[in-house]
Amino acid sequence: MADGPVTDGVAFPEGGDGRRSTTATGRAVFADSARAVDPALAARIEHTSDWRGGYLGPLRDLVRVAAMSPEAALTISRDGLASAHRRFELVRAGERSSLPDAMARYTAPGLASVTVRGTAPAEAELTLPYRGRRLFGDDLRRQVDTWVARGVAERGVAEAIDLLMANPDWLDLRDVDVAVLGAAAEMGPTRSLLRWGATVHAVDLARTDVWQRLIETTRSTAGTLRVPIRLAADGAPPFVVGGTVHPDDDATVAGRAGVDLISQAPEIATWLGEIEQPFVLGTYAYADGATHVLLTVAADAVVERLRAQRDDLTLAYLATPTDVFAVPMDVVDDSRRRWQARGISGFLQSPLRLLKQFEPNYPATWTDDAGREFGLCDTLVSQQGPNYALAKRMQRWRALAARADGVPVSINLAPATRTRSVVRNRALAAAYAGAGRFGVEVFEPGTSTALMAALLVHDLRNPAAPANPATPLGNPMDLFTRDATHGGLWRVAYAPRSVLGVAALLGMFEARA
């Protein structure tokens, strides 16, 4: 796939034929990430001609190689990030610059700010919306324990929620600043953070309806919203009276608010650099296709520049459940027990395995350089494509590289969720509808976002959380597994991709019934 002419902003590199190929770029970045650790895998990636159809196997093997040692995991992460920053460009007024050069060059302020304050008291108790109810107290504990018992979440999730509920003062976020790239994203933590009193430095597109909702949400909470305001045509800040910003009303602010992460990454870095206290920088921006890669690269460029300027950042991400993860043997053993317990259905499914249907989740295991045995849960979904895989893998790389450099990093695995992007994809929507037949729970957005926000707070408040670089991990990639809410994908009997089509058929049948 090749892009046409680009507008200003972060762009895929231009090839020798003058075209900007998303496929060639993604393949090259993955090959570069593997080259120092496994040259044969790098060559295999480079020679995969049909990358859109052939990326699943190499990306699985890349995780296997990374799981063999901490050094391998960090080398792959750092080399992959370096390749992306070396290859992607920033185009401005027709001029092409390397991404690092552009971020260093464009440092002038490009945004003003308006602060919006909420008027409600902070919520002092952790609650979670779930299936038409709002859970709190013992009901919430029981539900989280049920998820763990059913294999929907790992034990670390229950431990984190228990600890958070035992320390309700942790939810008082009036001392916490969080910059949210993608403040209105459906899976973002913005609403929960505001309810708990945080100051949110919001980055999202210049869409009046988006900012109206964000401002209205803020007014009904205990939080504070710092809003980026586009400068006037002459470069002067709007709403200025006597040197002080005085917006007329919320509607006026919403009409001037917003910034484009792809085209204004340097200005966003400058704007966030004005924050005087330590803050969390969370990346939650999402878009379909190649745009998601551009958003991720732009966000990572902002991270790079801010990290070069200050040492008080904490990074935050959400890992996708549809990727490949190195999982511990208790997960593998649980899945294999479920496989053995299939009874007569297992006998009836045997012929279908010739068609790669109903395959076991963990047909093999590996042993790393320290003697630890592990399995690979491969939940990549071909319908999401290699661009999605690159965007989410880059976030994982940054999390590992930054934590190794001493930066706290919260990256929790979010469960499969019925977001708008999923519902728009008929195949995925149908598969999610039928996933329950195989022991997978698909969450509603409200439940996922509240749970992930709670786990973020746990990571910020608990010194022993995996997010803290001082907390020992066997392999850096254990960061993704300790507190994972995978919805059951890791522990089901079947390899998820081998039952995806059947789940979709069941989902479509149930929808018509």
d(CA 335, CA 325): 14
- Torsion angles phi and psi, residue 466, rounded to 5: -55, -25
Closest C-alpha to 310, from 283, 279, 282, 284? 279
Of 347, 425, 383, which Cα lies nearest the Cα of 339?
347
Single-letter code of the amino acid located at 96: R
- Dihedral sign for Cα 70, 75, 80, 86, please: positive
Which stretch of 164-173, 375-384, 471-480, 504-513 has the lowest confidence by average pLDDT? Answer: 504-513
Closest C-alpha among 202, 291, 348, 55 to residue 45 = 55
Q: What is the pLDDT of residue 247?
A: 65
Section 492-509 average pLDDT? 84
| Contact yes or no for 325/63 (Cβ under 8 A) | yes
pLDDT of residue 2: 45
pLDDT of residue 252: 87
**pLDDT over 60 (residue 390):** yes
Percent of the chain with pLDDT over 90: 80
Task: Specify the pairing of strand 9-11 against strand 89-92.
Answer: antiparallel
Which of 83-92, 256-265, 376-385 shows the lowest per-residue confidence on average (mean pLDDT)?
376-385
Determine how β-strand 199-203 pairs with β-strand 224-230. parallel
Q: Assess whether pLDDT exceeds 70 at residue 348.
A: no
* pLDDT surpasses 50 at 378: yes
Do residues 11 and 89 lie in contact, with contact meaning Cβ atoms separated by under 8 Å? yes
Average pLDDT over residues 305-333: 97
Q: In b/e form, how buried is each residue of 451-478, taking b as 16+ CB within 10 angstroms?
A: bbbbbbbbbbbbeebbbbeebebebbbb
pLDDT band for position 362 (cuts 50, 70, 90): very high
Q: pLDDT of 119-148, one tens digit each?
A: 999 999 999 999 999 999 999 999 999 999
Residue type, 192: S
Q: Which of 238, 248, 240, 250 is nearest to 214 (CA)?
A: 250
pLDDT at 240 over 60: no
Q: What is the residue-averaged pLDDT of the chain?
A: 92
User: Which tokens is 319 given?
Assistant: 């890992």
In sequence order, the 6+-apart residues with CB closer than 8 A to the CB of 412 are 318, 319, 452, 455, 456, 459, 483, 484, 485
| Distance, CA of 501 to CA of 494 (rounded, Å) | 13
Which secondary structure element, helix H or strand E, spans residue 160, and what is its range?
helix 155-166
Per DSSP (E only), the strands in 222-329 are 224-230, 240-241, 244-245, 279-283, 313-319, 324-327
Q: Is the pLDDT of residue 242 over 90?
A: no
Output the pLDDT for position 12. 96
Q: In this predicted structure, what is the pLDDT of residue 382? A: 87
Q: Which of 299, 309, 257 is nearest to 278 (CA)?
A: 309
Summarised one tens digit per residue, pLDDT across range 60-111 is: 999 999 999 999 999 999 999 999 999 999 999 889 999 999 999 999 999 9
Answer yes or no: is pLDDT of 182 > 80: yes
β-bridge mates for residue 9, sequence order: 91
Higher pLDDT, 3 or 436: 436
Instruction: Show the tokens assigned to 14.
Output: 């231009």
Report percent pLDDT > 70 for the chain.
93
pLDDT for the residue numbered 446:
96
Could you give the 3-state DSSP secondary structure of residue 341?
coil
| pLDDT for the residue 246 | 59
pLDDT above 60 (res 1) = no
**Helix 70-87 and helix 290-309, axial crossing angle in degrees, nearest 10:** 100
429-462 pLDDT per residue, tens: 788 888 888 899 999 999 999 999 999 999 999 9
Question: Tell me: the pLDDT tens digits for 292-317?
Answer: 999 999 999 999 999 999 999 999 99
How many angstroms separate the CA atoms of 129 and 140, rounded?
A: 10
Of how many residues is the chain composed?
513
Which one of 232-246, 331-345, 384-398 scores highest in mean pLDDT? 384-398
The CB density around residue 285, as the number of other CB atoms within 10 Å, is 25
DSSP codes of every residue in 368-436:
-TTS-EEEEEE---GGGHHHHHHHHHHHHHHHHHHHHTT--EEEEEPPPB--HHHHHSHHHHHHHHHGG
The model's pLDDT over 392-428, given as tens digits with 9 standing for 90+, comes to 999 999 999 999 999 999 999 999 998 888 777 777 7
**What's the rounded mean pLDDT across residues 34-47?**
98
pLDDT on residue 354 = 59
Per-residue pLDDT, averaged over 166-174, amounts to 97
Supply the pLDDT for residue 239.
67
Least confident among 201-205, 379-383, 412-416: 379-383
Mean pLDDT, residues 267-272: 98
User: Above 70 in pLDDT, residue 184?
Assistant: yes
Closest CA to 458 of 130, 175, 135, 156: 156
pLDDT of residue 3: 46
Residue 421 confidence (pLDDT): 80
